[in-house]
Amino acid sequence: PLPILFSCIYCRYRKNAYLFIYYLIQFCGHSWIFTNMTVRFFSFGKDSMVDTFYAIGLVMQLCQSISLLELLHIYVGIESNHLLPRILQLTERIIVLFMVITSQEEVQEKYVVCVLFIFWNLLDMVRYTYSMLSVIGISYAVLTWFSQTLWMPIYPLCVLAEAFTIYQSLPYFESFGTYSTKLPFDLSFYFPYVLKIYLMMLFVGMYFTYNHLYSERRDILRVFPNKKKM
């Protein structure tokens, strides 16, 4: 019936409008971060890398917090992605950003934090640009290929930077005892042990996520030429 058809069209329009606004907000946030880091680097050189977190940390935290909505998007079906790989990717960032970098001021001044933020923002600027245009039915062959290829060298470098950040944070967690606590019956929770275990799991998760992204890339690039012909 016609009313049902109009209802479906309206619901799809609302969903696409919401996703477009979400992707646009994320794109603007990550573009601002990347532009700010670039301008600061050309203005102050290597000195700008030391206080990267102080300059853009709050906006980075906001963008990564908002990105948790993507799990809800996938769960309710408004995004057609797999839930587990996205959980792994977001978990990496949340743990490194909030539990490691934010909690240790000494780590915030490391060069690796600046490098890590550059990698994250490169991936996200391209990904959100591609997603934003896809929602409104716009596709470019170059952008599609670039968005499905850039992660291949950058994602492993992200994981290495995350691992190095965690490694550099270990002495500070051991010295200050952050998140470590005494438990009843002469037991204790020692957070550096958790981080060391997580370091091993990080590379296992990278292998799983990389395989998933590669399969997704193959499927998208296989379908895209057929769409152009149609």
Which residues are identified as catalytic?
155, 162
Neighbours of 106 (CB within 10 A): 12
Counting beta carbons within 10 angstroms of the beta carbon of residue 185, is it exposed (0 to 12), middle (13 to 18) or buried (19 or more)? exposed
Backbone angles phi, psi at 181, to 5 degrees: -155, 155
CA–CA dist 123, 155 (Å, integer): 8
Choose among 116, 129, 130: nearest CA to 217.
Answer: 130
The residue assigned the tokens 């990278």 is: 206
CB 212 within 8 A of CB 193: no
CB 26 within 8 A of CB 66: yes
